[in-house]
Chains A and B, each alone.
Chain A
Amino acid sequence: DIVMTQSPLSLPVTPGEPASISCRSSQSLLHSNGYNYLDWYLQKPGQSPQLLIYLGSNRASGVPDRFSGSGSGTDFTLKISRVEAEDVGIYYCLQPLQPPFTFGPGTKVDLK
């Protein structure tokens, strides 16, 4: 199985400031089609996870442009340009390259 790791596991943030989360995979997620098979999800308190970013850098429908994804191969980053209070929750990366699809352990983002 592909193992996903994230850092940090906890991230206190200040509204209006930028934030960044790292995700690393045990195998390359770069497909032969040129896409990186890495998704980002946000689980807000009391809710189901919601898709933020797919194929490494594509924002899902309705996701604000303050969220961006980057990276290739085994190293990926989710960036929030200016954190808002509604962004608190747990952020997960997921590798959808090959079954069994595996999630990272999650990064808990809360306000300072």
Chain B
Amino acid sequence: QVQLQESGPGLVEPSQTLSLTCTVSGVSISSGDVYWTWIRQSAGKGLEWMGRIYTGGTTTYNPSLKGRVTISSDTSKSQFSLKLTSVTAADTAVYYCARDTGGGATRFDYWGQGILVTISS
């Protein structure tokens, strides 16, 4: 059974870097035609797709994040990570990691439970 679990600090100071990790179990993150994705949900912007990393390592990001986002993976730990730099209060949100089935037809079939990250001093 595929499971995803987000982890990281729940509070980040403004202008700092938000770092989250998603641990995947039940499937290898380095095989298959799938993408590993970060999505966030805030009161102000609803659900926002942030970006994804392919099993081969290729990344795609949402341009709205203006180059502040980096997604990477550590296959030895079955984890992929999110880094968002220069955060502001607008980045306060629940952050989800999810699997994108890819295969020419994106759909998010497995999600983590989400982690609330608050940006505040």
Contact = CB atoms under 8 A, between A and B. Distances in A.
Interface of A: 1, 33, 35, 37, 39, 41, 48-51, 54-55, 60, 92, 94, 96, 99-103, 105-106
A61 B96 CA distance: 21
Nearest to A55: B105
- The secondary structure that dominates the A interface is loop
Contacts of B112: 48
Interface of B: 46-49, 60, 62-64, 96, 104-109, 111-114
B62 A60 contact: no
B62 A54 contact: no
A105 B62 CA distance: 18
A105 B46 contact: yes
Contacts, number: 52
A105 B48 CA distance: 10
Contact of B111 (A49, A99, A100): A49
A96 B63 contact: no
A48 B38 CA distance: 13
Given A99-B62, A100-B64, A49 B107 contact: no
A102 B64 CA distance: 11
A31 B94 CA distance: 32
A103 B40 CA distance: 11
Contacts of A96: 105-107
Contacts of B105: 35, 37, 54-55, 96
A37 B113 CA distance: 25
B82 to A, nearest CB: 15
A9 to B, nearest CB: 11
Contacts of B47: 49, 92, 94, 103, 106
Nearest to B48: A103
